[in-house]
Amino acid sequence: MKQEIYINSTPQESRIALIEDGQLAEFLIERKEEMGVAGNIYKGKVARVLPGMQAAFIDIGMEKAGFLHASDFSTEPEDVQLIGSSGDDVEFEEAPKPAPSRRLPLEKQLGRGEEILVQVAKDPLGTKGARVTSHVSLPGRYMVFMPGTKHIGISRRIESEEERKRLKEIAQTLRTEEGGFILRTACEGRSKREIQRDLSFLTKLWSRIHKKAESAPAPSLIHQDLDLIVRTIRDFFSADTERVVVDSPKDHRRITDFVRNFMPRLKSKIVLYTDKVPLFEQQGIEEKVAKALERRVWLRSGGSIVIERTEALTAVDVNTGRFVGKRNQEETIFKTNLEATQEVVRQLRLRNVGGIIIIDFIDMEKEGNRKKVYDALREALKKDKARTNILKISELGLVEMTRQRTRESLENQLLRPCPHCDGRGRIKSAPTIAYDVLRAIKRQHSQVEDGKNIVVRLHPDIANFLYDEKNNSLENLEREINHRIIIKASQDLHQEKYEITEA
């Protein structure tokens, strides 16, 4: 599989496109004012304990308290529920001990006002606060270190029995009193020295975190996880990646330094993009992201899939569309469903759809065809790092599945409910449009005569956002392109529309 990583970085946001075999497989975005907190470690204070829910709310210094379920808390270091980082399906070489059958109720273990060290497992989603856990795990390049446990696990994504045996032997020699660890998929083919260096770094990191937590007040941030760019390099950059292209010299240096320390053999694959045409425009990524926000996705054969999100679940409907086949109806339906399996999985990854998902394949009469479509769907899901659980296809052609939800969907990140249709539709959010405007100015400034001003007409809400929250960005851009930028609010323009002229 041909893989490439493209990174667009500006002072306002970082955007990352993961390309697999020429297709946009994942699109990640992190805005400076909306940086995620998953992976961060906090010293919190118990705000409330809910005996009926066997859960507690932990004040970690954020607007909304973190939610701690009893299954994510234990005073016994060995009583843990372990989850592989980045969706790795983990097989434990030394199985975790089963949870005690008579565990004390949460209200007997935690009291209001008590201080506790927790890690954010899931970012706040919608109206919900962050999901937190007392089971701290520190992901590295080759392993996930778990303080306070003695368990050793190996990712099931490593399929070679010979390689698994080699890694088991290495893992046994690296046992440490500080904690257990999971060997990640990236360990495949790595030397003992490389893995040991990763373990040494993580144990020292935990020592610093533990020491800081002892003296810090509650609530307070104890450890902040890596930002999106470095985290993506850690989790996705491998020997299979053909190149990493980044358009920011500053981030190019950061990535190079990180790779030099953890994977020096891959340093030559990092490329600094310097062309005048914006990177994402040159690669056609902007257009692909726009299509990822549409309801209908066309298949190459002429069929299509329609993706609808509701409060409870996401429904995916497969249609034959313009595809009429060459032989008979059953063959046409089977080929459409088979092609749809690949596109459905790609769209789930790209849009970061989580929770319950119902896929409505076109009804197939033959049991053999239903099994082939189901097997193709399972095979396609192997590329997805998020954990999934899938049930067999029913006689009605329905597949029920769940997909791990760890962050906001692409739709929720880039869009907001439309005020013009009472929330029934979606339009781009003010930050999304404002950043589009800044990129458009930068793209078109070369066509403006020297000494001329750039005039931008746009909706008043977007004008206010640029003046009130991004005034520094405008001033910096003026200095960069050597043109004065004049913003004019126009009530007759739709919120997503804008006009750029010179004066």
Q: Could you read off the pLDDT of 195-205 as tens digits, one per residue? A: 998 999 999 99
CB 75 within 8 A of CB 135: no
Q: Could you report the per-residue pLDDT of 5-18, keeping only the tens digit for each?
A: 999 999 999 999 99
Q: Work out how many domains the chain is built from and give that number.
A: 4
Residues 147 and 203 in one domain: yes
pLDDT at 323: 60
Report yes or no on 412 lying in a domain.
no
Nearest-Å Rg of the Cα atoms of the chain is 25
Residues 125 and 269 in one domain: no
Helix, strand, coil share (%) of the chain residues, nearest 5 = 35, 30, 35
pLDDT at 451: 84
Domain harbouring 331, CATH code: 3.40.630
Average the pLDDT over each of 158-162, 244-248, 416-420, 499-503 and give the range with the smallest value.
Answer: 416-420
Answer whether residue 31 shows pLDDT above 50.
yes
**Cα gap 20→3, rounded to integer Å:** 5
Domain harbouring 158, CATH code: 2.40.50.140
Report yes or no on 424 lying in a domain.
no
Report which of residues 416 and 116 the model is more confident about: 116
Average the pLDDT over each of 77-91, 190-204, 374-388, 473-487 and give the range with the smallest value.
Answer: 77-91
pLDDT at 83: 36
**Cα gap 264→262, rounded to integer Å:** 6
Residues 218 and 234 in one domain: no
Answer whether residue 467 shows pLDDT above 90.
no
Residues 208 and 273 in one domain: no
For range 229-247, the mean pLDDT = 92
Report the candidate in 491, 350, 493, 340 with the shortest Cα–Cα distance to residue 411. Answer: 350
Q: Last residue of some domain: 207, 226, 245?
A: 226
For range 20-42, the mean pLDDT = 89
Answer whether residue 56 shows pLDDT above 80.
yes
Give percent of the chain above pLDDT 90.
57
Residues 57 and 187 in one domain: yes
For range 109-116, the mean pLDDT = 92
pLDDT at 324: 62
pTM of the model: 0.78
Residues 78 and 215 in one domain: yes
pLDDT at 214: 92
pLDDT at 100: 47
Answer whether residue 379 shows pLDDT above 70.
yes
Residues 365 and 347 in one domain: yes
Report yes or no on 417 lying in a domain.
no
Residues 208 and 339 in one domain: no
Q: Could you report the per-residue pLDDT of 429-445, keeping only the tens digit for each?
A: 899 999 999 999 998 88
**Residue tagged 């003992």 (tokens):** 192
Tell me the pLDDT band of 85, cut-offs 50, 70 and 90.
Answer: very low
pLDDT at 352: 92
For range 271-291, the mean pLDDT = 94
Report which of residues 93 and 64 the model is more confident about: 64
Report the candidate in 21, 62, 49, 48 with the shortest Cα–Cα distance to residue 342. Answer: 21
Peptide bond between residue 219 and the one before it cis (omega within 30 degrees of 0): yes
Copy the structure tokens of residue 10. 């500006």
Q: Last residue of some domain: 287, 308, 324?
A: 287
pLDDT at 84: 37
Give percent of the chain above pLDDT 70.
92
pLDDT at 46: 94
Residues 104 and 144 in one domain: yes
Residues 79 and 153 in one domain: yes
Copy the structure tokens of residue 375. 């097997």
Report yes or no on 11 lying in a domain.
yes
Answer whether residue 48 shows pLDDT above 80.
yes
Report yes or no on 480 lying in a domain.
yes
Domain harbouring 257, CATH code: 3.30.420.60
pLDDT at 128: 84
Answer whether residue 191 shows pLDDT above 80.
yes
Report yes or no on 423 lying in a domain.
no
Report yes or no on 76 lying in a domain.
yes
* Residue type (1 letter), 314: T
Tell me the pLDDT band of 428, cut-offs 50, 70 and 90.
Answer: confident
Q: Last residue of some domain: 202, 226, 250?
A: 226
> Which of the 8 DSSP states describes residue 305?
E
Answer whether residue 265 shows pLDDT above 90.
no
pLDDT at 383: 84
Answer whether residue 447 shows pLDDT above 90.
no
**Cα gap 183→306, rounded to integer Å:** 38
Report yes or no on 419 lying in a domain.
no
* Sheet of 138-139, strand order: 90-92, 152-155, 179-183, 143-147, 138-139
Answer whether residue 156 shows pLDDT above 80.
yes
Range of the domain at 332: 292-403
Tell me the pLDDT band of 82, cut-offs 50, 70 and 90.
Answer: very low
Answer whether residue 295 shows pLDDT above 70.
yes
- 6-29: b (≥16 Cβ within 10 Å) or e: bbbbbebbbbbbbbbeeebbbbbb
CA 279 to chain centre: 21
**Mean pLDDT over the full length of the chain:** 87
Residues 498 and 379 in one domain: no
Q: Given its phi and psi angles, is residue 86 left (phi above 0), alpha (psi -120 to 50 degrees) or beta? A: left
Residues 253 and 298 in one domain: no
**Cα gap 243→140, rounded to integer Å:** 21
